[in-house]
Amino acid sequence: MDPKLFDFEICLPVASPVAAQGRVTPGTLAAGKVVRTIYHGGYEGLGAAWGEFGAWIKAQGLKTADELLECYLAGPETGADETAWRTELSRPLRG
């Protein structure tokens, strides 16, 4: 992944199809196998969490696609205690 380029999608379930408007376009998340973990802590620790997760994936001999997914399960809206915040980290597997 090129650190100078950051492209992202925001995903959420919808009850009906979304029409494209401006830079907003509808998309889908394809079904497939992923490797996943839950990070507990403040958002400033996500970089290190991804690094640790990546090292674990490599140690397991798993091959991942280029994409990565973050799902914010509990954050500042749930309280000020960052140790209670949870972010789901996922990497789709190849093959």
Give me the chain's average pLDDT, please.
Answer: 90
Where in the chain are the domains?
35-92
* Interval 16-50: pLDDT, tens: 988 999 988 888 888 899 999 999 999 999 999 99
Residue 1: pLDDT band with limits 50, 70, 90: low
At 13 the pLDDT is: 80
Q: How far apart are CA 8 and CA 60, in angstroms?
A: 27
Question: pLDDT of 84-95, one tens digit each?
Answer: 999 999 999 997
Q: What is the pLDDT of residues 65-85, one digit of tens each?
A: 988 999 999 999 999 999 999
Closest CA to 8 of 92, 70, 84: 70
Q: Are 34 and 90 in contact (CB under 8 A)?
A: yes
pLDDT of residue 40: 97
Sheet holding 34-40, edge to edge: 34-40, 86-92, 69-74
